[in-house]
Amino acid sequence: MSLAENLNHAIERIERARIAYDRHHIVKIVAVSKYSSASEIAALYEAGQRAFGENRVQDLKQKSEELCDLPLEWHFIGTLQSNKINALLALRPTLLHSLHSLELALELHKRLEREDSHLSALLQINSAREESKSGFLPEEALETYARLQEECPRIALEGVMSIGAHSEDSRLIQKSFETTQGIFETLKPRGARTLSMGMSGDFELAIACGSNLLRLGSTLFKA
Ligand SMILES: *Cc1c(COP(=O)(O)O)cnc(C)c1O
Protein backbone atom coordinates (compact mmCIF):
# COMPACT_ATOMS: atom_id res chain seq x y z
CA MET A 1 0.00 0.00 0.00
CA SER A 2 1.13 3.57 -0.63
CA LEU A 3 1.50 6.00 2.26
CA ALA A 4 -1.64 7.80 1.06
CA GLU A 5 -3.54 4.51 1.21
CA ASN A 6 -2.22 3.85 4.72
CA LEU A 7 -3.45 7.27 5.78
CA ASN A 8 -6.87 6.76 4.19
CA HIS A 9 -7.22 3.38 5.83
CA ALA A 10 -6.29 4.80 9.25
CA ILE A 11 -8.74 7.68 8.80
CA GLU A 12 -11.56 5.25 7.98
CA ARG A 13 -10.86 3.26 11.15
CA ILE A 14 -10.60 6.46 13.21
CA GLU A 15 -13.89 7.73 11.80
CA ARG A 16 -15.74 4.57 12.80
CA ALA A 17 -14.31 4.65 16.32
CA ARG A 18 -14.89 8.38 16.65
CA ILE A 19 -18.54 8.26 15.57
CA ALA A 20 -19.19 5.28 17.85
CA TYR A 21 -17.80 7.38 20.72
CA ASP A 22 -19.44 10.71 19.91
CA ARG A 23 -20.29 12.38 16.60
CA HIS A 24 -19.03 15.71 17.94
CA HIS A 25 -15.69 14.31 19.07
CA ILE A 26 -12.71 15.58 17.07
CA VAL A 27 -9.60 13.41 16.77
CA LYS A 28 -6.26 14.62 15.49
CA ILE A 29 -3.41 12.48 14.16
CA VAL A 30 0.28 13.03 14.86
CA ALA A 31 2.21 10.92 12.36
CA VAL A 32 5.17 9.47 14.26
CA SER A 33 8.01 9.59 11.76
CA LYS A 34 10.82 8.29 13.98
CA TYR A 35 11.60 5.36 11.66
CA SER A 36 10.89 7.29 8.46
CA SER A 37 12.87 9.41 6.06
CA ALA A 38 12.24 13.01 5.04
CA SER A 39 10.96 11.83 1.65
CA GLU A 40 8.38 9.56 3.30
CA ILE A 41 7.26 12.46 5.49
CA ALA A 42 6.92 14.62 2.37
CA ALA A 43 4.80 11.88 0.74
CA LEU A 44 2.45 11.76 3.72
CA TYR A 45 2.26 15.55 3.67
CA GLU A 46 1.18 15.34 0.01
CA ALA A 47 -1.61 13.01 1.14
CA GLY A 48 -2.82 15.68 3.58
CA GLN A 49 -0.99 14.99 6.84
CA ARG A 50 0.38 18.08 8.63
CA ALA A 51 1.46 17.08 12.16
CA PHE A 52 4.51 14.87 12.68
CA GLY A 53 6.19 13.57 15.82
CA GLU A 54 9.73 12.53 16.68
CA ASN A 55 11.21 11.03 19.84
CA ARG A 56 14.81 12.19 19.45
CA VAL A 57 15.80 15.86 19.38
CA GLN A 58 18.53 15.23 16.81
CA ASP A 59 16.05 13.58 14.42
CA LEU A 60 13.51 16.33 14.92
CA LYS A 61 16.16 18.91 14.10
CA GLN A 62 17.43 17.12 11.03
CA LYS A 63 14.04 16.31 9.51
CA SER A 64 12.41 19.63 10.31
CA GLU A 65 15.34 21.48 8.75
CA GLU A 66 15.30 19.25 5.70
CA LEU A 67 11.56 19.85 5.27
CA CYS A 68 11.49 23.51 6.28
CA ASP A 69 9.76 24.52 3.05
CA LEU A 70 6.65 22.55 4.01
CA PRO A 71 4.15 23.99 6.53
CA LEU A 72 4.50 21.08 8.96
CA GLU A 73 3.74 21.00 12.65
CA TRP A 74 6.34 19.18 14.78
CA HIS A 75 5.60 17.37 18.03
CA PHE A 76 8.15 15.93 20.45
CA ILE A 77 7.01 12.62 21.95
CA GLY A 78 10.16 11.12 23.46
CA THR A 79 11.84 11.21 26.84
CA LEU A 80 13.64 14.53 26.88
CA GLN A 81 17.06 14.56 28.53
CA SER A 82 17.98 17.79 30.24
CA ASN A 83 21.12 18.23 28.11
CA LYS A 84 18.83 18.41 25.04
CA ILE A 85 16.49 21.10 26.34
CA ASN A 86 18.15 24.01 24.55
CA ALA A 87 18.29 22.13 21.28
CA LEU A 88 14.61 21.25 21.52
CA LEU A 89 13.47 24.77 22.44
CA ALA A 90 15.45 26.21 19.53
CA LEU A 91 13.26 24.12 17.22
CA ARG A 92 10.07 25.63 18.65
CA PRO A 93 8.00 22.43 18.67
CA THR A 94 4.22 22.72 18.52
CA LEU A 95 3.73 20.43 21.51
CA LEU A 96 5.85 18.46 23.97
CA HIS A 97 3.81 15.31 24.73
CA SER A 98 6.15 13.92 27.33
CA LEU A 99 6.65 16.19 30.32
CA HIS A 100 7.66 13.38 32.65
CA SER A 101 9.33 14.83 35.73
CA LEU A 102 9.36 17.82 38.02
CA GLU A 103 13.08 18.41 37.45
CA LEU A 104 12.54 18.55 33.71
CA ALA A 105 9.66 20.99 34.12
CA LEU A 106 11.66 23.31 36.38
CA GLU A 107 14.63 23.22 34.03
CA LEU A 108 12.44 23.91 31.00
CA HIS A 109 10.77 26.79 32.77
CA LYS A 110 14.10 28.35 33.69
CA ARG A 111 15.29 28.28 30.06
CA LEU A 112 11.95 29.55 28.78
CA GLU A 113 12.09 32.45 31.18
CA ARG A 114 15.61 33.30 30.05
CA GLU A 115 14.45 33.30 26.43
CA ASP A 116 11.18 35.05 27.21
CA SER A 117 9.20 32.33 25.45
CA HIS A 118 6.58 29.63 26.09
CA LEU A 119 6.16 25.94 25.37
CA SER A 120 2.94 23.95 25.08
CA ALA A 121 3.15 20.60 26.83
CA LEU A 122 1.24 17.59 28.09
CA LEU A 123 1.87 15.89 31.41
CA GLN A 124 2.90 12.30 30.77
CA ILE A 125 1.08 9.81 32.99
CA ASN A 126 2.48 6.34 33.66
CA SER A 127 -1.02 4.97 34.10
CA ALA A 128 -0.02 1.31 33.82
CA ARG A 129 2.67 1.87 36.50
CA GLU A 130 5.39 0.32 34.36
CA GLU A 131 9.01 0.67 35.44
CA SER A 132 10.12 0.88 31.83
CA LYS A 133 8.02 3.99 31.22
CA SER A 134 8.51 7.60 32.20
CA GLY A 135 5.80 9.79 33.58
CA PHE A 136 3.94 10.64 36.75
CA LEU A 137 1.98 8.04 38.65
CA PRO A 138 -1.78 8.56 38.49
CA GLU A 139 -1.99 9.63 42.13
CA GLU A 140 0.64 12.35 41.56
CA ALA A 141 -0.94 13.77 38.43
CA LEU A 142 -3.51 16.24 39.73
CA GLU A 143 -1.28 17.84 42.33
CA THR A 144 1.64 18.03 39.88
CA TYR A 145 -0.50 19.61 37.19
CA ALA A 146 -1.71 22.30 39.57
CA ARG A 147 1.77 22.88 40.93
CA LEU A 148 3.29 23.29 37.46
CA GLN A 149 0.58 25.72 36.43
CA GLU A 150 1.46 27.73 39.52
CA GLU A 151 5.26 27.49 39.43
CA CYS A 152 6.02 27.11 35.73
CA PRO A 153 3.69 29.51 33.92
CA ARG A 154 5.90 29.51 30.84
CA ILE A 155 4.95 25.89 30.27
CA ALA A 156 1.45 26.02 28.83
CA LEU A 157 -0.10 22.76 30.03
CA GLU A 158 -2.74 21.60 27.57
CA GLY A 159 -3.60 18.19 28.94
CA VAL A 160 -2.15 14.74 29.45
CA MET A 161 -0.44 11.97 27.49
CA SER A 162 -0.15 8.27 28.14
CA ILE A 163 1.17 5.12 26.52
CA GLY A 164 -1.21 2.17 26.84
CA ALA A 165 -0.23 -0.76 29.05
CA HIS A 166 2.35 -3.02 27.43
CA SER A 167 0.11 -6.08 27.23
CA GLU A 168 -1.65 -8.47 24.88
CA ASP A 169 -4.72 -8.20 27.09
CA SER A 170 -6.91 -5.41 25.74
CA ARG A 171 -8.71 -5.16 29.09
CA LEU A 172 -5.45 -4.11 30.73
CA ILE A 173 -4.78 -1.56 27.98
CA GLN A 174 -8.31 -0.24 28.35
CA LYS A 175 -7.89 0.04 32.10
CA SER A 176 -4.72 2.10 31.67
CA PHE A 177 -6.49 4.38 29.16
CA GLU A 178 -9.45 4.81 31.51
CA THR A 179 -7.11 5.84 34.31
CA THR A 180 -5.66 8.59 32.13
CA GLN A 181 -9.11 9.59 30.89
CA GLY A 182 -10.27 10.03 34.49
CA ILE A 183 -7.32 12.32 35.20
CA PHE A 184 -8.02 14.29 32.00
CA GLU A 185 -11.69 14.77 32.93
CA THR A 186 -10.72 16.00 36.39
CA LEU A 187 -8.25 18.47 34.84
CA LYS A 188 -10.72 19.98 32.36
CA PRO A 189 -11.68 22.80 34.77
CA ARG A 190 -7.94 23.63 34.82
CA GLY A 191 -7.95 24.06 31.06
CA ALA A 192 -6.90 20.57 29.94
CA ARG A 193 -8.17 19.97 26.41
CA THR A 194 -5.78 17.47 24.86
CA LEU A 195 -5.75 13.75 25.67
CA SER A 196 -2.85 12.13 23.75
CA MET A 197 -3.41 8.37 23.78
CA GLY A 198 -3.36 5.62 21.20
CA MET A 199 -0.69 4.18 18.92
CA SER A 200 -0.94 1.89 15.89
CA GLY A 201 -1.94 -1.16 17.92
CA ASP A 202 -4.52 0.39 20.20
CA PHE A 203 -5.89 3.64 18.77
CA GLU A 204 -9.52 2.52 18.42
CA LEU A 205 -9.56 1.55 22.09
CA ALA A 206 -7.97 4.90 22.94
CA ILE A 207 -10.70 6.78 21.05
CA ALA A 208 -13.33 4.75 22.92
CA CYS A 209 -11.67 6.13 26.08
CA GLY A 210 -11.90 9.73 24.88
CA SER A 211 -8.53 10.27 23.22
CA ASN A 212 -8.43 13.27 20.89
CA LEU A 213 -4.79 13.05 19.79
CA LEU A 214 -3.35 9.84 18.31
CA ARG A 215 0.34 9.14 17.82
CA LEU A 216 0.49 6.79 14.85
CA GLY A 217 3.75 5.45 13.48
CA SER A 218 3.90 2.01 11.89
CA THR A 219 0.33 1.91 10.62
CA LEU A 220 0.96 5.04 8.53
CA PHE A 221 4.53 4.44 7.41
CA LYS A 222 4.56 0.69 6.78
CA ALA A 223 5.46 -0.34 3.25
C1 LIG B 1 6.97 5.21 18.47
C2 LIG B 1 5.95 5.87 19.29
C3 LIG B 1 4.61 5.94 18.86
C4 LIG B 1 4.11 5.30 17.59
O5 LIG B 1 4.15 3.89 17.69
P6 LIG B 1 3.48 2.95 16.58
O7 LIG B 1 3.14 1.72 17.34
O8 LIG B 1 4.49 2.75 15.52
O9 LIG B 1 2.24 3.63 16.09
C10 LIG B 1 3.72 6.63 19.67
N11 LIG B 1 4.10 7.21 20.85
C12 LIG B 1 5.38 7.16 21.28
C13 LIG B 1 5.71 7.83 22.56
C14 LIG B 1 6.33 6.49 20.53
O15 LIG B 1 7.60 6.44 20.98
Per-residue pLDDT of the chain (223 residues; tens, 9 = 90+): 799 999 999 999 999 999 999 999 999 999 999 999 999 999 999 999 999 999 999 999 999 999 999 999 999 999 999 999 999 999 999 999 999 999 999 999 999 999 999 999 999 999 999 999 999 999 999 999 999 999 999 999 999 999 999 999 999 999 999 999 999 999 999 999 999 999 999 999 999 999 999 999 999 999 7
How are beta strands 119-125 and 155-162 bridged, if at all?
A: parallel
DSSP state of 72: -
Q: Is the CB of 201 under 6 A from ligand 1?
A: yes
Q: What residue type is 31 in one-letter code?
A: A
Region class of 182: left (phi > 0), else alpha (psi between -120 and 50), else beta = alpha
Among residues 196, 212, 176, the alpha carbon closest in space to that of 75 is found at 196
Q: How far apart are CA 119 and CA 53, in angstroms?
A: 16
pLDDT at 160: 98
- Which atom of ligand 1 is the closest one to the Cα of 199? 9
DSSP state of 157: E
The CA 211 to ligand 1 mean position distance, Å, reads 15
